[in-house]
Structure 1
């Protein structure tokens, strides 16, 4: 999934980018509010992790502009400003979660997973189709109970399709969700990943189908 981190503390930002990228997410980072506002207006993100004390534009103003545009991205406020009044204001402006610094990394990771599940319309931490299960907590796939050894890009694509099972995921959405601004992903590469996954999944009763000219989807009816 694609995440934007808006944080002006360089050391904290570096650590969180490594943590999120290590979990398989496509992560972009900016360190001021104006850059965040411009990037959010131009790009699609699944989750924005937003500090409030930012140069050039306060984080709450970034959030207000997002929700005025009806941007559907989930927003986690991550800030040292933790008074009840500020929490209420942030949530009322449209934040989905609010964490106060300092924080426990394990709780941060759990909240990120919860927000991304909610974005995908999922309540449970597992998605099972045919003989394949996606464990969203561990972020791994099991086929007939055995771990699937998937390259990073194939894993990211299959996770996206499983989280939106039964719905066509356009190629444009796949590109946006799987790549940061520093990455590139061609149509041909997506087709190759989909073809490899189709072969891996078929023996386990899972059909990865092509919506010609649009994108791909996992057939939930199998």
Structure 2
């Protein structure tokens, strides 16, 4: 009995130590102390910690304190992604889409981006929308791309604002032109997004006074990260 509980105490002590080393490594990476980060994170990654594996992938992808090694970065991302780590799934999917560190494979890109998007990663939703809008590895599907861009915006991803606004402003196969909705979408752009702000002005000039008043009323309560209305005419 006493040996049993003693074993548990040792296990928890080791677990706490490993957690402390992981946190120290992540903190060092954030503060750009890459030597310490690698020292602390590498053993944790080798022991199967997904967050450490993802961090090591970032280190080798960007060459942070080490020589860039895209292939090794992919290896770390694959290990973390297979454990369900959303940011690693995003990075792995993006790598397959771009062919950096791994042979370009749109099928694999879709697979991993979808897994990350399913976990609520807005960047993955944005990248996935680009693939559906462009027909990359899938049949081109603008309505689905719209749903993904909306999801990304509602998750706070600023870059999706322009892409979605343009689709509504111009219309696309399966997505009728809707200038009022385009105005509403452009309205949630971040303050430094001057391109979207410019398009908002262009779209606003094409609305009737009644449409503009309606769009402004709806937009007044919205911001990046807000749930967008389903449709506005």
- TM-score, with normalisation over the residues of structure 2? 0.30
Q: Name which one, 1 or 2, has greater alpha-carbon Rg.
A: 2
Higher strand proportion: 1
Higher helix proportion: 2
Which one scores higher on RCO, CA 8 angstroms, separation ≥ 6? 1
